[in-house]
Amino acid sequence: MARAIDFYFDFSSPYGYFATARIDEIGRKHGVPVRWHPILLGAVFKITGAGPLPTLPLKGGYFTHDVPRSARALGLPFTLPARFPFGTVTACRAFYFVEKSDPAGAVRLARALYDAAFGKGRDICPVEAVVGIAAELGFDPDWVQAGIQAHETKELVKTEVDAAIGRQVFGSPFFFVDDEPFWGHDRLDQVDLWLEKGGW
């Protein structure tokens, strides 16, 4: 029996956003918790030599087809923000700061950040944007803003990103069921099957 699904993603990854449409349902179906881990793909790309999709030779043009097409296939609202790719360190910090005292609230915040960015095409890079989205969910804006800037939060993000790299996470979304790795929202069927069968 698997103990959890670990769900790694970068807030600027549309494929990570796509995964949020199904991940909790898969967890519920199998009675396992989903542990959300926002990461900073920029740190990963320093190791792999990859980069954000739109910047890659040949791949960049494909991205503009595949992302909106996949969103439509999934029936998800989708708008690419004018600034893309965008920095996600503030969003990450807010997540881990909130998570310390309110894990379920942090997941609600992550969903709201993704919906703002890719559902509505809003810019979630600035501190004010992240704090504003948190405030819409009922979090105290001053508390969130202080949390984002706290040294301890920055260390927490670094620890999480290092841990992801330690687990060989190289893209977003990325999942583990126990130690079995799955890359891409298009592997969620296999995640589902793995939880059902305990491997195959």
Which stretches of the chain bind a second copy, using CB under 8 A?
A: 44, 47-49, 56-59, 61-62, 65-66, 69-70, 72-73, 165, 168-170, 180-184, 186-187, 190, 193, 200
**Quick one: 71 or 148, whose CB is closer to a second copy?**
71
The least CB distance from residue 178 to a second copy, in Å, is 12
**Quick one: 31 or 49, whose CB is closer to a second copy?**
49
CA separation for the pair 177, 34 (Å, rounded): 10
CA separation for the pair 174, 121 (Å, rounded): 23
DSSP state of 163: H
CA separation for the pair 118, 45 (Å, rounded): 22
The least CB distance from residue 163 to a second copy, in Å, is 14
The least CB distance from residue 71 to a second copy, in Å, is 11
Tokens 């005292």 sit on residue: 101
**Quick one: 4 or 47, whose CB is closer to a second copy?**
47
DSSP state of 117: I
Contacts for 127 with CB less than 8 Å, ≥ 6 apart: 90, 145, 148
**Quick one: 61 or 103, whose CB is closer to a second copy?**
61
**Quick one: 151 or 197, whose CB is closer to a second copy?**
197
The least CB distance from residue 52 to a second copy, in Å, is 14
Cis peptide before 126 (omega within 30 of 0): no
**Phi, psi dihedral angles at 182 (to 5 degrees):** -135, 130
The least CB distance from residue 173 to a second copy, in Å, is 13
